[in-house]
Chains A and B, each alone.
Chain A
Amino acid sequence: MSDSTSANALSVDHVAVHFGGLVAIADMTFSVDRGEVVSLIGPNGAGKTTAFNVVTGFLQPTKGTVTYQGRQVNGLKPHQIADLGLVRTFQKTSVFDTNTVFDNILIGLHRRGQRSAWEVLLSLPRVRREEEELRAKAWDILEFVGLDRQANSLGGALAYGEQRLLEVAVALAAEPSLLLLDEPVSGMNPSETSSFMDLLAKMRERHITMLLVEHDMRMVMGVSDRIVVLNDGHIIAEGSPESIQNNPEVIKAYLGEGAEHVGN
């Protein structure tokens, strides 16, 4: 038992979330291992984004615990959780609109800087050195996601697909060990989606563990090691993409009771 917990990067243990009388998540237990790409899928309103909010500290669970690398996470503030390496993106596109793409990344790099207010006010040489290092890192990240040519555009002025890339770039700048992506390709056209999948593959090579909420099944089946299916606040299935595709419970959740007859 203790072995399995140490292998798990993230474990969500019997988490429930109630909003007054409304049960958003009834009882949810799943885990993500280091280096894995896990997708959380389910119909609209199943509780996927709520699960994200609980894991990243934007919501407190009513019951249950969330642990990351052996540390209890629920009860910490979002920025403290980000400091542990758990970094998320948002379902609704979320960048710093009035800052340039480059400055967006610099803000994302916040965690990597250490200089105190006093050092900044005295303008010590190490402040300048750190600033140069951060700028170099920002360029690396922009090149990695392929936004280097837009470095001077405003975040809010980018095309939709590019904004979604920028979001991921900002999250990457925060140096995640587990990256939580909330519907990263929603609203993208097929070519944008496939270039995003290439980016995911590159991130995988860097051993970034990922938890993904996504509706695009082609992408989910293509990138996931494991899939967790959530319906009505309960986990109804968990397993490899192949097993999920053929799971009658999942088909029922997505297509309704009569679906199996349609197939026959």
Chain B
Amino acid sequence: MNRALGLGFLAFLVSIPFWIGDQYLLHILINAGIFVIGAMSLNLLLGYTGQLSLGHVAFFGIGAYTSALLSLGFDVTTFWGGELVVGPQPVWLSFLAGIVLAGLAGWFIGRISFKVRGAYFVIITISFAEVTKLVALNWVDLTEGPMALISIPPFSVSIPGIWEATFYGKTPNYYIMLAIGVVSYIVIKRLVNSRLGRAMVALRENEPLAMSVGIDVTRYLVLAAVVSAAIAGAAGGLYTHYVRIVDPDVFLFIYTVTMVIMVITGGKGTLAGPIVGGIIFGVLPEILREFMGPEAQWVTYGAVMIAIVMFLPEGIVPALTRFWERRKESRDASDRMITGRAASSATETPSE
């Protein structure tokens, strides 16, 4: 049932570019998709290990900058005086490097915060994001600072001598986004449905008890942080090669907050939650723009958010799941009553 629903939804997503005429709408969907991937990665930390990373955008930005810089090539004066020159690398290689570097940053954050939880973890992640932002802003030699990195090459494939394609258009980028989203979803799903995912949940639910049955909680917190950061880095790389310009604004705090909103409203600790929340809050601003002025847009956005949090405090997906289960139960119960009545009437018939 769940699987069928998921595959049906995926088929629908695949079909979109075939019937959607407006390229602008496709652009909105790609942007929303990039956010959904970010939200899914955040959910691994926030929803499963229970640790709120309010600096999640740092991993996104590290992925974006790494991928951009490597694909453009750069030269930079190193601390020990020499000059490091790196020529332009293939986009796929830069993209992978972005994922790896973001993952390493996640490992670093996981390691240094091995003893801190709750508010302290939040502070560490916020500080980390601020530091990365300052580096992007001020290390002008490398990052161009506020002048931004421009003319970043888009994704491309080439089978030497046979076929080559560079993806400037919306449709191919939409499919790249979708592919990265599906891979991220599968990675997260396999992880959380395994013994490792259970260890993460154990850390969230009851850390002393988790330790007492032999779970090395730090190890699983670090694992979650690495995978989460790597996926956020992938989203960053995707963004970079789609928008083809990256400036220190990718580190804006509001992006982290947006991802948190997506996870919380959709349902943290569920696989579908960040997707549902991400689509709603990724597309909502654009829909509102059609109907109202800029001030009213954000008021409405906020009102929708507050309404969801107030009426569905666990999020949309858990609420829907519960609704379906209850419906199914009552249907099963009435089925039993009907079959019971039929059986009793069947036994009565011969005696008459």
Q: Identify the A interface with B (CB < 8 A).
A: 56, 58, 77-80, 82-83, 87-90, 94-99, 103, 106-111, 113, 115, 117, 120-121, 123, 127, 130-131, 134, 170-171, 173-174
- The residue that A56 contacts in the complex, of B196, B210, B212, B223, with Cβ under 8 A, is B212
The 8 closest A-B pairs by CB, nearest first: A82-B214, A174-B213, A78-B211, A111-B214, A113-B195, A96-B205, A120-B194, A107-B202
**How far, in angstroms, from A153 to B206 measured CA to CA in the complex?**
18
**How far, in angstroms, from A78 to B202 measured CA to CA in the complex?**
15
Query: Which of chain A's residues has its CB closest to B198's CB?
Result: A107
Given A96-B202, A134-B195, A174 and B214 contact (CB-CB distance below 8 Å): yes
Q: In the complex, what residues of A have CB within 8 A of residue B199's CB?
A: 107, 110
**How far, in angstroms, from A134 to B223 measured CA to CA in the complex?**
22
Q: In the complex, what residues of B have CB within 8 A of residue A121's CB?
A: 187, 190-191
Query: Which of chain A's residues has its CB closest to B199's CB?
Result: A110
Q: In the complex, what residues of B have CB within 8 A of residue A98's CB?
A: 205
- The residue that A82 contacts in the complex, of B196, B201, B205, B211, with Cβ under 8 A, is B211
B209 at the interface (CB under 8 A from A): yes
Q: In the complex, what residues of A have CB within 8 A of residue B210's CB?
A: 107
B190 and A120 contacting across the interface, CB-CB below 8 Å: yes
Q: In the complex, what residues of A have CB within 8 A of residue B206's CB?
A: 94-97
Query: Which of chain B's residues has its CB closest to A130's CB?
Result: B195
Q: In the complex, what residues of B have CB within 8 A of residue A111's CB?
A: 213-214
A-B contact pairs, 11 of them (CB 8 A): A79-B215, A82-B211, A83-B214, A87-B214, A88-B212, A99-B201, A107-B210, A115-B194, A117-B223, A120-B194, A131-B195
Q: In the complex, what residues of A have CB within 8 A of residue B208's CB?
A: 58, 78, 90, 94
Q: Which among B191, B196, B209 has the greatest number of chain A C-beta atoms within 10 A? A: B209
Within 8 A of A (CB), among B207-243: 208-217, 223, 227
Q: In the complex, what residues of A have CB within 8 A of residue B212's CB?
A: 56, 78, 82, 87-90, 171, 174
A96 and B213 contacting across the interface, CB-CB below 8 Å: no
**How far, in angstroms, from A95 to B210 measured CA to CA in the complex?**
9
How far, in Å, is B62 (CB) from chain A's closest CB?
21
Q: Which among A80, A108, A123, A173 has the greatest number of chain B C-beta atoms within 10 A? A: A108
How far, in Å, is A185 (CB) from chain B's closest CB?
19
Q: Identify the B interface with A (CB < 8 A).
A: 187, 190-191, 194-196, 198-199, 201-202, 205-206, 208-217, 223, 227
B201 and A96 contacting across the interface, CB-CB below 8 Å: yes
Query: Which of chain B's residues has its CB closest to A123's CB?
Result: B190
How far, in Å, is A113 (CB) from chain B's closest CB?
4
B209 and A90 contacting across the interface, CB-CB below 8 Å: yes
**How far, in angstroms, from A28 to B115 measured CA to CA in the complex?**
30
A110 and B194 contacting across the interface, CB-CB below 8 Å: no
**How far, in angstroms, from A186 to B209 measured CA to CA in the complex?**
18
How far, in Å, is A99 (CB) from chain B's closest CB?
7
Q: In the complex, what residues of B have CB within 8 A of residue A82's CB?
A: 211-214
A110 and B209 contacting across the interface, CB-CB below 8 Å: no
**How far, in angstroms, from A82 to B5 measured CA to CA in the complex?**
42
Give 6 A-B pairs besides A87-B214, A90-B212, A113-B195 with Cβ atoms closer than 8 angstroms.
A90-B209, A107-B213, A108-B213, A117-B223, A123-B190, A174-B213
**How far, in angstroms, from A173 to B210 measured CA to CA in the complex?**
12
How far, in Å, is A47 (CB) from chain B's closest CB?
19
**How far, in angstroms, from A95 to B206 measured CA to CA in the complex?**
7
How far, in Å, is B189 (CB) from chain A's closest CB?
10
How far, in Å, is B50 (CB) from chain A's closest CB?
11
**How far, in angstroms, from A82 to B217 measured CA to CA in the complex?**
13
A95 and B209 contacting across the interface, CB-CB below 8 Å: yes
**How far, in angstroms, from A113 to B209 measured CA to CA in the complex?**
18
B190 and A171 contacting across the interface, CB-CB below 8 Å: no
**How far, in angstroms, from A82 to B215 measured CA to CA in the complex?**
8
Given A110-B198, A117-B223, A99 and B213 contact (CB-CB distance below 8 Å): no
Query: Which of chain A's residues has its CB closest to B197's CB?
Result: A120
**How far, in angstroms, from A111 to B202 measured CA to CA in the complex?**
13
B211 and A115 contacting across the interface, CB-CB below 8 Å: no
A110 and B187 contacting across the interface, CB-CB below 8 Å: no
- The residue that B213 contacts in the complex, of A80, A87, A131, with Cβ under 8 A, is A87
B209 and A94 contacting across the interface, CB-CB below 8 Å: yes
